[in-house]
Amino acid sequence: MKTNSNFSIPRLARFIRFDFMSNLRSYIFRISLIAIIMLLCMILGSIFISGNSFNSGEQYISTISSIASTAFVITIMVSLSLIFEPMKTVGGRINHLMLPASKAEKFVGRLLISTIGIAVAFIMALLVAECVRNVTLLSFGSKYSDVLGFYFPGIMANMADSLNPAFAVVSIHIFNLSAFLLGGALWYNYSFVKTLCVQTILGLFFFIVAGLLSFVVAALLDKLATFDLEFINALYYGIIWAAIAAMWIGAYQLYRHASIINRRFIFKQ
């Protein structure tokens, strides 16, 4: 067993497996919660849509995929803010920090669990909920037959469309999620709430400053209007992605310097 390298794929895989198995019951509980919430939405949606439209199936897909898309984004946001949940307690920090894997492996491992892992689990929860919905509706007899059917592929296709692969929308999504990643690395407790509060405060701050300095903003916009549209786009995306990179680097640096002491504010001990 090689122990000296800074990043080893087999060790990363071992870490992901270890983390997953150590917290399996917690993950199952959370996904079950998501499945139950989606199931309730699906059943209620089926009941309200049934008999109200000539194409109930498509309306059901449209409604549920909108709800599922929103739920999916919120789930990823919450999951990223919980990226260092094992570090919530002193004992948890000791167990996590002392596990023989490199800091990079642990960071990437937790990131993969909090993004790809939770995304896969969400889709599985949606699938289970859709199957249970059909079984539940069947038990009601023929009353809701017009919304009966396995609409999971349609829901997934609609979700993919609504999450909009356009670069601008993807950039904003990733920017927002990166903020929760940084928050998760900064605060181990109530990270989602704290990150949301900071985002709100910063948003209000910039809104107020922009309002107070409206003449500066107007002059800047006039100046920008003289530039090439491509340059403005490049500038816009450059700033967004520079901020994303800064948040990711910041999150990793915070994690790299983590110790057994819980941060009181921002800086290390």
Q: How far apart are CA 145 and CA 133, in angstroms?
A: 12
Shortest gap between Cβ of 78 and other proteins (angstroms)?
21
Contacts of 266 (CB under 8 A, 6+ apart): 186
Separation between Cα atoms, residue 229 and residue 211, nearest integer Å = 25
Q: What angle do CA 54, 55, 57 make, to 5 degrees?
A: 145
Tell me which of 98, 135, 166, 266 binds other proteins, using CB under 8 A.
98
Strands (E), 37-101: none
Q: Which is nearer to other proteins, 47 or 104 (CB)?
A: 104
The distance of closest approach from Cβ of residue 101 to other proteins in the complex, given in angstroms and rounded to an integer, is 6
Residues 119 to 138: which contact other proteins by CB under 8 A? none
Per CB under 8 A, contacts with other proteins among 16-45 are: 17-18, 21-23, 25
Q: Which stretch binds other proteins (CB under 8 A): 5-13, 55-63, 65-73, 142-150?
A: 5-13
- Non-local (6+) Cβ contacts of 112 within 8 A are 16
With contact defined as beta carbons under 8 Å apart, do 183 and 192 qualify?
yes
> Helix, strand, coil % (nearest 5) of the chain?
80, 0, 20
| Pick 14 or 173: Cβ nearer other proteins | 14
Is 110 a residue that touches other proteins (CB under 8 A)?
no
Instruction: Indicate whether 108 belongs to the interface with other proteins (CB under 8 A).
Output: no
Residue 54 or 265 with smaller CB distance to other proteins: 265
Number of neighbouring beta carbons within 10 Å of residue 184: 29
260 binds other proteins (CB under 8 A): yes
CB of 201 to other proteins, least distance (A): 26
Measure the N-to-C terminal CA separation of the chain; round to a whole number of Å: 34
Q: What does DSSP assign to residue 264? A: S
Task: Report the distance separating Cα 214 and Cα 211, nearest Å.
Answer: 5
Least separation, in Å, of the C-beta of 10 and other proteins?
Answer: 10
According to DSSP, residue 145 is labeled: G
Shortest Cβ distance from residue 194 to other proteins (Å)?
Answer: 22
Report the residue from 214, 257, 262, 263 that binds other proteins according to the rule CB under 8 A: 257
99 near other proteins (CB under 8 A): yes
253 part of the interface to other proteins, by CB under 8 A: no
Point out which residues bind other proteins (CB under 8 A). 1, 3-6, 8, 11, 14, 17-18, 21-23, 25, 89-95, 97-103, 105, 257, 259-261, 268-269
